[in-house]
Structure 1
Amino acid sequence: MATLNELKHALRQAAKATPHQPLSETQYSAGFQILIQDAGWMVYKDFVIPQLSRLLTNQYASRTDISVLEIGPGPQSVLAHLPSDLRRKIKTYNAVEPNGLFAARLGEQLQPTTQTELPLPCLARPVNICRCPFVLQDGVESCANPDSHPSDRFDLILFCHSMYGMKLKHTIVEKALEMLTERPQPGLVVVFHRDGLLLQDLVCHQIASYPAGAVRVIDNNDNLDSFASFVAGYTLPDASEENTIKISWRGICRSLGCLEKGHLSFSSPHIMMGFTRHAAALQELKAQMPLSKRSKTIKNRESLFQSPACVVKPTTIEHVQDCVRWALTRGLSLTIIGGGHSGHCLLSNVVAVDLSAFDQVHILNADDTGEVRGLSDASASLVVAEAGSTVGDVIRRATTAGVTVPLGARPSVGAGLWLQGGIGHLARQHGLSCDAIVGAVIISVRTGQIFCVGNLPNKHMPAGAIRPEEEEDLLWAIKGAGTNFGIVISVTFKAYAAATYLTRNRIIPLDTKVEAEQQLHSFDTSVARKLNRKCSADAYLYWNADKLHLGVTTFECSTAKSTSEISTTIPEGVLLGSQDEVRIVDDIGLFEADMYMSGMHGGHGGGKTSSFKRCVFLKYIGEAEIRGRLVVAIENRPSNLCYLHLLQGGGAIGDIEGRATAFGCRDWHFACVITGVWPREQDGTALARAVQQWVYDVVEDLLPLSCGAYGADLGPDPRDAALAAMAFGSNLSRLVRLKSRFDPNNVLAHACPLSRAPMPKLIILVTGESCAGKDHCAELWVSVLSRATSEGLLVRAVSISDATKREYAEATGADLHRLLGDRSFREQHRPALTAFFQEQVRQRPNLPQEHFLDVVRRVVGVDVLLITGMRDEAPVATLCHLVPESRLIEVHVQADARTRRLRRGCHDDELDGRERKSESDSTTSVDSALLNHRPTFIFDNNTAGNERAEEFAEQIILPFLHRDLERLADMVRTVSDFPSSGIEFRHVLGIAQQPGGLALCTSLLQEHLKHDWTNFGAIACCEVGGFVYASTLALQVGVPLILVREAGKLPPPSISVAKTPSHISSAASNGPKQYQIEIERDAIAVGASVVVIDDVLATGETLCAVVQLLHKAGVSTNHIRIMVVAEFPSHRGRELLRRRGFGKVSVQSLLVFPGS
């Protein structure tokens, strides 16, 4: 699919000899409306609005007033779509909109006559819309309010897709920078634009990309005519020529667009750039050190298409410190160039630091290492490698001393490799590159100081270096995530004795998909798994000469002197195919041993191709599901040069526990490198983009079956987020904390992303007995939820018990494929499988929680996750604190014993003791009564057909995804350090102060308590938060309101219990640790059901006391329902209710917030 920029160029080329004229306001408006519909609006929804919200939140969190100048907003201001708390901060709004039609509509939007809620509700003065172009000379003053002074300054100047017709864009941004405020926080110029905007010599404060942007247009002549004129930027005055060009333009659109369902689609990648007044501070840095000729050091083709603000080349450590201090004082970021292979070592409008001057490699033999502090093996040699050296530099220098370091397979790769893992042919024998790191010299990006960590030779410690207090944490972090925590100047490796190696290549042509899968299975089970750790075997799946091929290269540490002494590694007959030459090589010769260098497609090492790679870790490539997906991936390649490289892991890689270093993914047998390749002359074309997207598509397909992802290739591209979330295993949370400590200003903002991946909005635990129909219901609900919302939510169902089955199969040799898919086979193993899991839990008591978190982390990007196969007691209460950003509910599926027997052949998991007992029971659905907790919902699945299950999803589950809940959440303001330091206070009661807030909250409370209100005898609430929301609800549904108050505030007779202060109350004061609360004794009728309404559920102390009070008043636990406006799962309030004996009380909440 072509980009809009490519389409624009083609349209203009077709009409370059024809006179043209600017679009009229009406024509421009018609084209603009086409552009922002459908996929075009998704750019705003998924990129513009979230990025702008993030920028303003970070920059103006403590501000209550913001002044805005918006240049070219069009018919609507994007600011009107920001969250409520940000919109309320905007006190002054000015706009420059030269299109009269747009200006009129903008005024109607921002100053409506009929709308009850204003888009910008807190403006201190009327909106000022200037109907003129934004010009550089005397027109600047016209954008201010007529009553204001020309020197007015703005906190935010916004160009949201409004620079396309402007010339001298660089100069316009510079002029806008002069109009920014400086205090109390520096102002921002924010630019949203299609990718490719060049603003030379300006340095970004923030930058983000959105490669998934697209535009769709209906494929009919009228739409295409308007669309093509808008993209080209003009129309034709001559009617006869216009008709001819229109026909030509339609053909161009149809040839370059991707036709699907009557629409033509065009790629439209977008960028966001945020600038402060420091954007022009580049000359200060340039004056302090040399500049670099980047073409000599950059190997990555993606990076070569970037236009960095400049590339500096420090030659001393002091120069590097100057770079850091320059960035820190101006709130700017840096990229780092080591070997130049990273796709994000250069970024447009960001300063790059080229470390190629630091290229020394030093060898310390055993006699030299005695001085090294803390070195456990005094006889070991050490290799000190500076950050500008490459793998080839290190190995060539080391082999002269008879030693080696387990580095990667390409000689030109730099320090980014060993700081982020380092997978090479010696990894099975010696471990990863990062495992060999014993010390490092690092420039702190928090202070600019020189840090020394770990075991360092004294003579390689720079003058002025210090050991930080967090030395252990920093050394841990750089061993796997080292590009994120400082600028590494050098690392010290533990060295190993150099050796020679036998390498063999074998190529197997494959005639069918079945044969391909069989050969992958044979390679995995009969070759790879049988090799000792001194051997490794790599596989390549690729297409050549109109046929699929499997290539295999084996590497073996050897003492052979000639090929005549060689013994075979691969058993004969296991893999059929031709065997190429057998070679004996040293560590340097290993660089040329990979099959892709010479054995595939004529060799990929000649520089005539470009490539794009991402890597996921797999356990068993011979498994049916994995091998099938690998073959399909190659079948769907967009270029015949694409291939999959499967590097064998295991051995020493797994000897190190996952938490011992930042590189947390250890339990894998193959690193699957999805390699997209295209001819070099196709750089930047649709083919190159298609190949990159193919890589991401294969990653998305394999990631749910993977053991993690490799972080070395990952950067700020949002498509990397799913991989980055799985790149560090269980270490991600610790790394996020350390990132905020060692790089609090995000100087290294463009390294492998270290942020918690967005959790699913809704997690549904589908529980129930064997053959109740859990899996069937889950899959059905996936279908219903996927098609039910206009936003196109991503919904997925997974089984949590698959992890246990995989571990059991690995431990016992049982057929995993049959364990997952063959019920009768699984039932044969049921007793052993159950015993295996129980023994695991005995040894690892937190295993159920680990399995739960693992399932959640693996489905990055999913909006709704349904989990089956869970047997935990009260799972919402015990697990919700682990996913505090997600709403967690339990749907218990039940069916009577007779129905379950009839469904014996259905796809399900366990058969437990309760199910066996109920076989002899009556045909009623009794299993929910046996539970010791109250599920969120119970679905009776005795009826044949799908209608009732579909109805349940639509009426019960879908309301949790309703837009009104998001509107309600937007009304909750966040206040930092209130009522005491360290607390992020959510002002839930503030909803009632928002226009329409109380009515909306009342409506949602009524909607989510799906019961006949005549069945409730009372609504109870505790002062003061509960009073606000319970009273309006009681009035709405006509149910009596029962007030719970502090003792002494109600007339006798009353019933009272002791209550501990709530979380916020205890933080706000030094009041009494306990006091009494009460209700009137006869307020509730005997046997009545009661709904308890409160504003917040945090620790649960308040609600525990209220439930205890109701219980004392004669209300049974089964007749109490709790509904709160906002829940804070981190405080484990549900668990407290359960511990105190109230586990059968139903608890629901409208909103869920992490933190305090």
Structure 2
Amino acid sequence: MGDGADNFNVILFCHSMYGMKPKSSFIKRALELLVERPGSGFVVVFHREETMHLDGLTCHQTASFPTGVTRVADDDMVLDRFAPFIAGFAMQDEHADKSTRAEWRKVCRTLGHREQGHQDQLLFSSPEIMAAFTRHATALTELTSQVPLGTADGAKNRQARLRRPASIVRPTDIRHVQQCVCWALDHGVGLTIIGGGHSGHCLWPNVVSVDMGAFDQAGCKTGGIVCKAMAAGLTVPMGARPSVGAGLWLQGGIGHLARLHGLACDAIVGAVMVSVADGRVLCIGRACLAPVYSIRNWVIPLSDRREAQLRLGDFDKLVAAKSPRNSSVDAYLYWERDMLCLGVSMIESSTSKPAFGAPTHTPTPMSSLFGPEDNYNTVNGVGLFGTEMYMSGMHGGHGGDKTSSFKRCLFLKHIGEANMIEILVTAIEARPSPLCYLHLLQGSGAVCDVAADATAFGCRDWDFACVCELLPLSSGVYGADLGPDPRDAALATKAFGPNRPRLIRLKQISDPRKVLAYACPLVKAPMVPTLIILVTGESCAGKDYCADIWVSVITRCASAKLTARVIGIGDTTKREYAEATGANLQRLLRDRRYKEQHRAALTAFFQEQLRHRPQLREEHFLNAVKDAMDMDVLLITGMRDKAPVAAFSHLVPSSRLLEVRIQASNETRRARGSCQISGDNDDGTECYPPSLLFHNDSIGNEAAKEFAQTHLLAFFHENLQRLASMPGGLDLCTSLLQAHFTGDWAKVDLVACCEVGGFVYASALALRVGASLALIRETGKLPPPTISVRKTSSHISSCASHDAGEKGIEVGRNIVPSGASVVVVDDVLATGKTLYAVLQLLHEAGVSADKVNVMVVAEFPIHRGRELLRRRGFGGARIQSLLVFDGA
């Protein structure tokens, strides 16, 4: 960074700024060394998050790593090296150094955390941040000279208040808001927003925050709205805290009136907003009587897990499920006085006005289950805010001293089921702090009256809102808490139900420059379905009929919550043929006999198109995928390509592509109107076996339904989802390999694998299914006699080594019997080079491709491994993969 240095596109400070003071001056000097054109050069800083204060510099983009951990051995010598590194200096005076080190060791042991089972190690939280700056980083004065400044007092979230924003501005009219947006657009930076200040991301390091508190509209709080509504004899279905701001009603708004009047977002009638696309002002665009609330509270000590299961089960089935809409019953699980406790609040709303504080003694199911309530109160809409059990009744009341937590909210159904209760109780037992609790706030009722796609709040089918330990069993996620924290990325995919793809497109249109980059993360939706099923077969085998039944089964599976669609890949050709010839398009699409009459002409028409457009098959396939981009499952009928999975899987590398071949006898097909019977029943399954085979000769739809439930829904089983996200899981992996095998294990003679990736899975699988194991090794590692072939380096090996030459593989000559049925197991299928060599080796041993099944843990279709095998004569091997991944 000395004078006369060349200009750079990227200057990187990777944990190298500790001790540099002031850091902002070093970054400004680095900015001067970037290439001249603004926006084309970056200064990137990696640093510990809590200590990076840059005095008004605004960053172009940030990324955080809040869960970073430093782990060191609890050893004097190790700590003596660790402590000076963290402190950033070492004492020169030997005597002073000795006493200082002893003190530092004491500090490390006091502040370090020990995990159960690793008491000899100290853990320290080490959150990190990456910030990228452009030459625009010093442009903050352009904004602060036009818009009034604010303070951090508007931020109530404790985590947010620890952060140092570049500045806080407090606009007092719409023009100021427009100036903030235009400044952000001009300089390529983002903004955060302070409404009620409860969001954990309303302040973000080195980002300008806009405090909307000066506005009666966007800056107003829940308590103020309720007070104004009550003065007019009305109410609004709002949340549970009076100081919550606009983030509540824009992203849902769950409160005790939700069962009666719906969510807060359902009551919005219009808005005035400043577009973050260009700074323009846009104008977009039932009243309920104000009730009185009666509140009853119970606290029930629980002796053990069994009592917890009985009590929560009774609460769910006998109380919550039968509550009228004007009643909201909440449950709390918490630990107090060395005992697990169940707290229950029943809040009933009424437009009649009983005497405040006078119990009505109306019998309730709660009284018969838990006895008389511990306390009773009658309040209005404002008083309701102070009656929440967690504010006044638990741990001495959470409403006094401020507490800080990372909290997220999920939506649950059937909380009385055993597995749900087990997770709830386990979560409380493993609580990181004595003050942790679980709050289950009741929903359903009027929440479900609004269609899932009517508002951004797409999660409508739930009974209770709770916390994030229950993600595998949840029916959705509450989006109001979510932000740029990387832990929120997975939750955000579940926050908007079927609306997510539509909201992502709206976000891209309305905020193309990512001005609101630190709001709820609307991550890019997958552009293709998770599962694509190619339904193939001869004419009149029943492809369309079966596909329609399978879509019905898939979409009606309540536990999977999937969307599915059928698309005929030949519909485009039929449409173009009808336009060219005058044929009746509707009859071509729906009338089987009419379509059979035109089949020969249609085929000739398509072949002529193909002659002029050689990639037409790929075009039609990708167009079908594009038309179903919002679906989880796409079924494509009418495809006649040989080995279509090998031919097309690389076009959709992030999707699992299957071919389901439908077979029917000649008699069945003739009865259904087929004109192509004689000589056309060579379906190619011997040379190019499909992923699955369905025999469609039976009458009725039961066989097709059972096939979908057994074979198709299995690809969405939770165990496969767990496997995709876990780093290990050998037992789970081998059990899935066994369960997903489409053949008969009893007829398998041998499990084979090639070093080194397949050894782990194949040995465990062979033991599980009771089959012999054949190890294929590099040439020279097995005792003679052996059978060997040459093998080029696999994709993984060539990436890890500069030696991309050929090597040999071998297997013992008497290990593989001629004509044996073999299952080859490997960890990865990418280019197919390793698998090709294994199939060659088995062929040399007398095992043909049609006798081989291949099971791989992960497949990367973009490398076209299946196509390589087909081209080289091994298309007859049946290949299955547990997981499919995009990329390398």
What TM-score comes out, normalization by structure 2 length?
0.66
Q: Distance in 1 between matches of 2:865 and 2:504?
A: 23
1:852 aligns with one of 710, 713, 716 = 716
Counterpart residue number, 2:18: 164
Counterpart residue number, 2:67: 212
Counterpart residue number, 2:517: 749
2:341 aligns with one of 531, 534, 549 = 549
Opposite residue 69 of structure 2, the aligned amino acid is: A
Q: Deviations over 1:27-49 (max 9, x none)?
A: xxxxxxxxxxxxxxxxxxxxxxx
Q: Distance in 2 between matches of 1:1005 and 1:443?
A: 66
Written as runs of structure 1 = structure 2, the 5 A alignment for 1:904-923 is none
Counterpart residue number, 2:144: 286
Q: Distance in 2 between matches of 1:949 and 1:575?
A: 60
Counterpart residue number, 1:452: 283
Q: Distance in 2 between matches of 1:352 and 1:951?
A: 63
Q: Kindly indicate whether residue 478 of structure 2 is the aligned counterpart of residue 720 of structure 1.
A: no
Q: Distance in 1 between matches of 2:495 and 2:725?
A: 15
The alignment partner of 1:216 has SS state of strand
Q: Distance in 2 between matches of 1:430 and 1:635?
A: 36
The alignment partner of 1:322 has SS state of helix
Aligned CA distance change for structure 1 residues 319 and 953 (closer, same or farther; 3 Å) = farther
User: Quick check: 1:724–1:753 contact (8 Å CA) kept in 2?
Assistant: yes
Shift of 1:707: 1.6
Aligned CA distance change for structure 1 residues 952 and 627 (closer, same or farther; 3 Å) = farther
2:81 aligns with one of 226, 236, 260 = 226
Query: How many residue pairs were aligned?
Result: 675
Aligned CA distance change for structure 1 residues 846 and 400 (closer, same or farther; 3 Å) = farther
Q: Distance in 1 between matches of 2:739 and 2:36?
A: 47
Counterpart residue number, 1:659: 453
Written as runs of structure 1 = structure 2, the 5 A alignment for 1:471-620 is 494-558=286-350, 559=352, 561-562=354-355, 563=358, 565=360, 567-576=362-371, 579-620=373-414
Opposite residue 493 of structure 2, the aligned amino acid is: A
Q: Distance in 2 between matches of 1:954 and 1:758?
A: 39
Counterpart residue number, 1:1146: 878
Aligned CA distance change for structure 1 residues 171 and 964 (closer, same or farther; 3 Å) = farther
Q: Distance in 1 between matches of 2:7 and 2:169?
A: 33
Shift of 1:714: 1.4
The alignment partner of 2:483 has SS state of coil
The alignment partner of 1:265 has SS state of strand
Counterpart residue number, 1:1127: 861
1:253 aligns with one of 94, 108, 117 = 108
Aligned CA distance change for structure 1 residues 659 and 166 (closer, same or farther; 3 Å) = same
Opposite residue 175 of structure 1, the aligned amino acid is: R
Unaligned 5+ segments in structure 2 are 534-553, 562-700, 752-759, 779-792, 821-830
User: Quick check: 1:757–1:860 contact (8 Å CA) kept in 2?
Assistant: no
Bigger drift between 322-331 and 939-948 goes to: 939-948
Aligned CA distance change for structure 1 residues 283 and 867 (closer, same or farther; 3 Å) = farther
1:192 aligns with one of 46, 49, 69 = 46
User: Quick check: 1:1127–1:1149 contact (8 Å CA) kept in 2?
Assistant: no
The alignment partner of 1:613 has SS state of coil
Opposite residue 266 of structure 2, the aligned amino acid is: D
Shift of 1:650: 1.2
Written as runs of structure 1 = structure 2, the 5 A alignment for 1:1020-1031 is none
User: Quick check: 2:866–2:875 contact (8 Å CA) kept in 1?
Assistant: no
Aligned CA distance change for structure 1 residues 319 and 511 (closer, same or farther; 3 Å) = same
Aligned CA distance change for structure 1 residues 422 and 943 (closer, same or farther; 3 Å) = same
Opposite residue 322 of structure 2, the aligned amino acid is: K
Shift of 1:291: 1.1
Counterpart residue number, 1:343: 200
Q: Distance in 2 between matches of 1:868 and 1:446?
A: 48
Aligned CA distance change for structure 1 residues 432 and 572 (closer, same or farther; 3 Å) = same
% identical aligned pairs: 47
Shift of 1:601: 2.7
Shift of 1:894: 4.1
Q: Distance in 1 between matches of 2:796 and 2:129?
A: 26
Q: Deviations over 1:1013-1037 (max 9, x none)?
A: 9999xxxxxxxxxxxx99x999989
Shift of 1:311: 1.1
Aligned CA distance change for structure 1 residues 841 and 444 (closer, same or farther; 3 Å) = farther
Q: Distance in 1 between matches of 2:102 and 2:761?
A: 61
Bigger drift between 166-175 and 500-509 goes to: 500-509
Q: Kindly indicate whether residue 134 of structure 2 is the aligned counterpart of residue 276 of structure 1.
A: yes
Aligned CA distance change for structure 1 residues 968 and 200 (closer, same or farther; 3 Å) = farther
* C-alpha RMSD of matched pairs (Å): 5.1
Q: Distance in 2 between matches of 1:860 and 1:1119?
A: 26
Shift of 1:154: 0.5
Aligned CA distance change for structure 1 residues 521 and 151 (closer, same or farther; 3 Å) = same
Shift of 1:1003: 7.4
Q: Distance in 2 between matches of 1:845 and 1:522?
A: 33
Q: Kindly indicate whether residue 431 of structure 2 is the aligned counterpart of residue 637 of structure 1.
A: yes
The alignment partner of 1:263 has SS state of strand
User: Quick check: 1:726–1:857 contact (8 Å CA) kept in 2?
Assistant: no
Counterpart residue number, 1:318: 175
Q: Kindly indicate whether residue 7 of structure 2 is the aligned counterpart of residue 176 of structure 1.
A: no
The alignment partner of 2:270 has SS state of strand
Opposite residue 340 of structure 1, the aligned amino acid is: G
Written as runs of structure 1 = structure 2, the 5 A alignment for 1:924-1073 is 996=802, 999=804
Aligned CA distance change for structure 1 residues 950 and 749 (closer, same or farther; 3 Å) = farther
Q: Kindly indicate whether residue 421 of structure 2 is the aligned counterpart of residue 627 of structure 1.
A: yes
Aligned CA distance change for structure 1 residues 670 and 246 (closer, same or farther; 3 Å) = same
Opposite residue 725 of structure 1, the aligned amino acid is: T
Aligned CA distance change for structure 1 residues 648 and 221 (closer, same or farther; 3 Å) = same
Shift of 1:191: 0.5
Opposite residue 586 of structure 1, the aligned amino acid is: N
The alignment partner of 1:574 has SS state of helix
Counterpart residue number, 1:395: 226
Shift of 1:944: 6.7
User: Quick check: 1:758–1:861 contact (8 Å CA) kept in 2?
Assistant: no
Shift of 1:654: 2.1
Q: Distance in 1 between matches of 2:481 and 2:487?
A: 12
Opposite residue 321 of structure 1, the aligned amino acid is: Q
Aligned CA distance change for structure 1 residues 1035 and 708 (closer, same or farther; 3 Å) = closer
Counterpart residue number, 1:95: none
2:250 aligns with one of 419, 427, 444 = 419
Q: Distance in 2 between matches of 1:949 and 1:390?
A: 70
Opposite residue 181 of structure 1, the aligned amino acid is: V
Aligned CA distance change for structure 1 residues 269 and 668 (closer, same or farther; 3 Å) = same
Q: Distance in 2 between matches of 1:535 and 1:620?
A: 18
Q: Distance in 1 between matches of 2:510 and 2:865?
A: 30
The alignment partner of 2:192 has SS state of strand
Counterpart residue number, 2:605: none
Q: Distance in 2 between matches of 1:840 and 1:1034?
A: 33
Bigger drift between 349-358 and 857-866 goes to: 857-866
What TM-score comes out, normalization by structure 1 length?
0.51
User: Quick check: 1:893–1:940 contact (8 Å CA) kept in 2?
Assistant: no
Shift of 1:732: 2.8
Shift of 1:266: 2.1
The alignment partner of 1:573 has SS state of helix
Shift of 1:595: 1.5
Opposite residue 367 of structure 2, the aligned amino acid is: E
Shift of 1:1150: 14
Opposite residue 189 of structure 1, the aligned amino acid is: V
User: Quick check: 1:186–1:277 contact (8 Å CA) kept in 2?
Assistant: no
Aligned CA distance change for structure 1 residues 451 and 966 (closer, same or farther; 3 Å) = farther
User: Quick check: 2:159–2:404 contact (8 Å CA) kept in 1?
Assistant: no
Shift of 1:157: 0.5
Q: Distance in 1 between matches of 2:776 and 2:462?
A: 38
Q: Distance in 2 between matches of 1:846 and 1:1038?
A: 30
Counterpart residue number, 1:776: none
